[in-house]
Structure 1
Amino acid sequence: MISLLDVSYVRLGTRDLEGATRFAVDYLGLEVSEHRKRTVCFKSDAREQTLCYFEGDPADQAVAFEVGDKTDLDMAAAELERLGYAVRSGTVSEAAARHVKGFIAFRDPSGNGIELVYRPANSGKRYRGSRDAGITGFSHVGLCSSDVTRDEQFWTKVCNARVSDRIGDAPLLRIDEVHHSIALFPSDQTGIQHINHQVETGDDVMRSYHFLKERGVPITFGPGRHPTSSARFLYFEGPDGMVFEYSSGVKSIADELLYRERQFPFEPTGFCHWGAKPQIRQFEN
């Protein structure tokens, strides 16, 4: 079994690197950690990068997960190849650009770009956002799934994820005590469905709601409160149609023996305890 320790970063292609950078800094509230040729890296916590925009096709996306060490990475590559996945080992220069010691790349059963990395770099400096969005760190991703039952089997049988709750057939998966690091949503598309950053308080969620709304950023869901994770949330649209989320107060699951997954309806009440209705295609019936 491949043991995932944490969700590490997201890489996103864009046709407008300058515009994407401006959004990440001025609206999302991230800090530029490095400019490279045709690439800009951003940080949202002590790690050297948690988001990277690069010049390219917006459909070219990847989400990375950390494993323990080089031995774990090699074992993961061998297991994936045994199961029939095409695995590519990253070059030294590619690893340096990702601020990791080494990585492999493959596609999950739905075709989403996945990278497994070891020894991601910490900056040694606190994150200092360009605006006070209250961000405490990069937290989780939603992934599009052409078959959530099949994909759940991959993440829970090949990897070490566990189901925390379900919204309809869509599983919310944890790899540590945080309620979920991966969410799988039925879709006829491939790619990252949304990107989450945790913020310190519900007040930060509301401040960003007004900040973004006043500047014409499309609000796609919320403010609201998830009945699954208990988090207060706000979803909004960024460059190339990518959906970003702020949330605060996400539930922790410390007792694996006592916790039992719960079932919620795949309708607005399953997504929001307060009655907000999503304008996100993968959240709609």
Structure 2
Amino acid sequence: MINLQDISYVRLGTADLDGATTFARDILGLEITYQSKDSVYLKSDQREHTLCYVAGSPADQTVAFEVAESADLELAAAELDKLGHPVHVGTDKEADLRRVRRFIAFNDPTGNRIELVWRPAFSNRRYHGERDAGITGFSHVGLCTTDAARDEAFWTSVCNARVSDRIGDAALLRIDEIHHTIALFPTNRAGIQHINHQVESGDDVMRSYNFLSDRQVPMVFGPGRHPTSSARFLYFEGPDGMVFEYSSGVREIADELLYRERQFPFDPKGFCEWGAKPQIKEFRN
């Protein structure tokens, strides 16, 4: 089994690197740690970067997860190869570009690009966003799935993820005590469905609601409160149609023996207990 320790970063291709950089810094509230003519690295917590925009196709999207030991990469590669998932072993140059010591890359059953990394770089400087969005860190991603049962089985049997709850067939998966680090949303494509940053409080969610409204950033769901994770949330659209989320107060599951996964309806009530209705395609029937 592949033991995922934490989510590490996302890499997104973009045809407008300057525009994506401006959004991530001035609207989303991240901090630039390094910039070149074809990439920009941004941080949201103690890690050196959690989001990297790269000049290229917006279809190029990658999410990375950390493993504990270098040997875990070899074990994971062998397991994935046995299951028919071709593995790319990152070169030293590619690892340097990702600010990690070593990594491997593969596609999950839907075709989402996944990287497993060892020893991602942490910063000796605390995160200080260009605007005070109240961000406390990069927390989770939504991934598209073209076969929800198949992909749930991959993440829970090949990897160490556990189902916390389901909304219809959409599984919310945890790899530690946090309610979910991966959310699988049924659709007809591969890709990252949304990117979440935790903020300190519900007040921060509402402050960003007003901030984004004033700047005419398209908001696609919320403010609201998830009945699954208990988090207060706001979803909005960024460059290349990527959906970003702020949330606060996410549930933690400390007792694995006592917790039982729950089933919620795949309708607005399953996504929000305050009555907000999503404008996100993957959240609607």
TM range (shorter): over 0.9
Which 4+ residue blocks in structure 1 deviate beyond 2 angstroms?
Answer: none
Q: Which runs of 5+ in 1 are unaligned?
A: none
**Distance across 1 between alignment mates of 2:97 and 2:273:** 41
Amino acid at match of 2:112: N
Residue in 1 that maps onto 2:108: 108
For the residue of structure 2 that corresponds to 1:109, the secondary structure is coil
Residue in 2 that maps onto 1:282: 282
For the residue of structure 1 that corresponds to 2:179, the secondary structure is coil
- With the length of structure 2 as denominator, give the TM-score of the two structures: 0.99
For the residue of structure 2 that corresponds to 1:3, the secondary structure is coil
Alpha-carbon displacement from aligned partner over 1:57-86 (angstroms, at most 9, x marks no partner): 000000000001110111111110111101
Q: How does 1:146-165 map to 2 (within 5 A)?
A: 146-165=146-165
Residue in 1 that maps onto 2:187: 187
The structural deviation recorded for 1:49 is 0.6
For the residue of structure 2 that corresponds to 1:72, the secondary structure is helix
Residue in 1 that maps onto 2:55: 55
CA RMSD of aligned residues (A): 0.5
For the residue of structure 2 that corresponds to 1:263, the secondary structure is strand
The structural deviation recorded for 1:97 is 1.0
Alpha-carbon displacement from aligned partner over 1:12-61 (angstroms, at most 9, x marks no partner): 00000000000000000000011134000000001001000000000000
**Distance across 2 between alignment mates of 1:113 and 1:242:** 16
**Distance across 2 between alignment mates of 1:124 and 1:32:** 14
The structural deviation recorded for 1:117 is 0.2
For the residue of structure 1 that corresponds to 2:209, the secondary structure is helix
Q: How many residues align?
A: 285
**Distance across 2 between alignment mates of 1:45 and 1:228:** 25
For the residue of structure 1 that corresponds to 2:185, the secondary structure is strand
Residue in 1 that maps onto 2:72: 72
For the residue of structure 1 that corresponds to 2:250, the secondary structure is coil
Residue in 2 that maps onto 1:128: 128
Q: Which runs of 5+ in 2 are unaligned?
A: none
Residue in 1 that maps onto 2:82: 82
Alpha-carbon displacement from aligned partner over 1:181-227 (angstroms, at most 9, x marks no partner): 00000011210000000000000000000000110100000000000
The structural deviation recorded for 1:124 is 1.4
Residue in 2 that maps onto 1:197: 197
- With the length of structure 1 as denominator, give the TM-score of the two structures: 0.99
Is 2:43 aligned against 1:38? no
**Distance across 2 between alignment mates of 1:131 and 1:249:** 21
Amino acid at match of 1:113: R
The structural deviation recorded for 1:175 is 0.1
**Distance across 2 between alignment mates of 1:249 and 1:257:** 23
Residue in 2 that maps onto 1:3: 3
**Distance across 1 between alignment mates of 2:36 and 2:80:** 31
Residue in 2 that maps onto 1:248: 248
Q: Among the aligned pairs, what percent are the same residue? A: 72
**Distance across 2 between alignment mates of 1:44 and 1:212:** 18
Is 2:15 aligned against 1:15? yes
**Distance across 1 between alignment mates of 2:54 and 2:255:** 40
